[in-house]
Copies of this chain bind each other. A is one copy, B any other.
Amino acid sequence: MIRVGVVGATGYAGAELVRILAGHETAELSVLTSRRFAGAEFDKVYPCMSGVVNMVCDELNLSDLCKRTDFVFIALPHKIPMAIVPELIEKGKKVVDLSADFRFSDPTAYEAAYQPHTAKDLLKRAVYGLCEVYSEQIKRADITGNPGCYPTSILLPLIPLVKSSLLDCNTIIADSKSGVSGAGRSLSLTTHFCEVSESFKAYKVASHRHNPEINEVLTMQAQKNVKITFVPHLVPMSRGMLSTIYAKINKNVTSKDIRTCLASFYDDQPFVRICEQGIIPDTSHVRGTNFCDIGFEIDELNNRLILISAIDNLVKGAAGQAVQNMNIMVGLEQTTGLMGPGFPV
């Protein structure tokens, strides 16, 4: 058994990690930390886990954490992880960080979007944990930066196509829609029930921090400069993320070319489901699962591809992909603990 710690276990991503790891046959939850609920039983904070998870939340203590774990997930707001991870790595732990701190390979890009980076050396060593694309590097990594939810939903459908030069990379637009759990458990008027219910809106229009993350990865994959237009929206539901992505297709590219490109790229990937023609992804099809569903149509009048992807923002967009990263990093089947079926309703 791998002894696993979850740092920041009482936020939504942290609690989702606990849920998944509680059913993982090879991982054993050994430490849960929480600043706010230190000393409390975890199932008092999340009564849904009562009778299943029987642990007390600890204050974060690095040396104690190192003693009691082999593998550490960090589910804290950005800026804090870069102060913690170096010591964990030095002590020989393997780490998946769910914040943005280890997602960028270019510290300048990180610093432009976030704040000064205090562990730049580790950035070179850290691997971007988009499992279907970087599994070879992840296998050898001891620190993985788990991708953002929006980047996951946008990069998975786009990467095969930009690598194959089927698209005009100057025309990419991603219109994304997220459930409210993406905003976390912290209180704000934006997530107050009466303000969300019967409301749909855009936010951080063309100014969201996931935009440079997406641009960096696409630029590397396309081997040319890519800057997409990205607009996130808030949907009155708890879980789920759908991205509708638009791009001009290059001359003579057909629907069949698109399908072949996606299908062959994801042929062996258990968590990417390419929808049959005419089937359009729906967040309810992936809720509670680690799947990413990808469908597409071509607007023939405009020679424009419309790619649609659906994920559960807390699973493939956060905790599920984090566990998938762990599985790869420690040499397990990547599906371990992650193949539970979705809910019919």
A residues within 8 Å of B by Cβ?
Answer: 12, 15-16, 18-19, 22-23, 46-53, 170-171, 173, 175, 177, 179-181, 185, 187-189, 191-203, 205-207, 227-229, 231, 233, 235-240, 242, 244, 246, 270, 273, 279-289, 291, 293, 297-299, 301-302, 304, 306, 308, 310, 314, 339-345
A3 to chain B, nearest CB (A): 19
> Given A205-B306, A302-B227, A194 and B238 touching (CB < 8 A)?
yes
Select A299's contact among B49, B53, B197, B206, beta carbons within 8 Å. Answer: B206
A126 to chain B, nearest CB (A): 26
Contact A177 B286 (CB under 8 A): no
Select A197's contact among B228, B238, B304, B310, beta carbons within 8 Å. Answer: B238
Chain B residue with the shortest CB-CB distance to A282: B201
Select A192's contact among B46, B193, B293, B299, beta carbons within 8 Å. Answer: B193
> Given A12-B194, A181-B194, A246-B246, A48 and B286 touching (CB < 8 A)?
yes
Chain B residues near A343: list those with CB within 8 A. Answer: 16, 19, 48, 288
A268 to B175, CA, bound (A): 32
A152 to B81, CA, bound (A): 47
Chain B residues near A340: list those with CB within 8 A. Answer: 23, 52, 340
A151 to B256, CA, bound (A): 31
A75 to chain B, nearest CB (A): 12
A103 to B17, CA, bound (A): 40
Contact B342 A48 (CB under 8 A): yes
Per CB-CB distance, the 9 closest pairs between chain A and chain B, nearest first, are A48-B342, A15-B344, A199-B284, A201-B282, A206-B299, A187-B187, A194-B345, A175-B175, A52-B341
Given contacts A48-B286, A170-B302, 14 further A-B contacts (CB under 8 A): A12-B344, A16-B344, A52-B340, A175-B246, A193-B196, A194-B238, A197-B238, A198-B284, A198-B287, A199-B237, A202-B244, A206-B297, A229-B299, A229-B304
A44 to B278, CA, bound (A): 12
Supply 5 A–B pairs (Cβ within 8 Å), ascending by A.
Answer: A47-B285, A47-B293, A48-B343, A195-B284, A197-B237
A17 to chain B, nearest CB (A): 10
Chain B residues near A306: list those with CB within 8 A. Answer: 205-206, 229, 231
Chain B residues near A206: list those with CB within 8 A. Answer: 297-299, 301, 304, 306
Contact B229 A341 (CB under 8 A): no
- The winner among A240, A293, A343 for most chain B CB atoms within 10 A is A343
A303 to chain B, nearest CB (A): 10
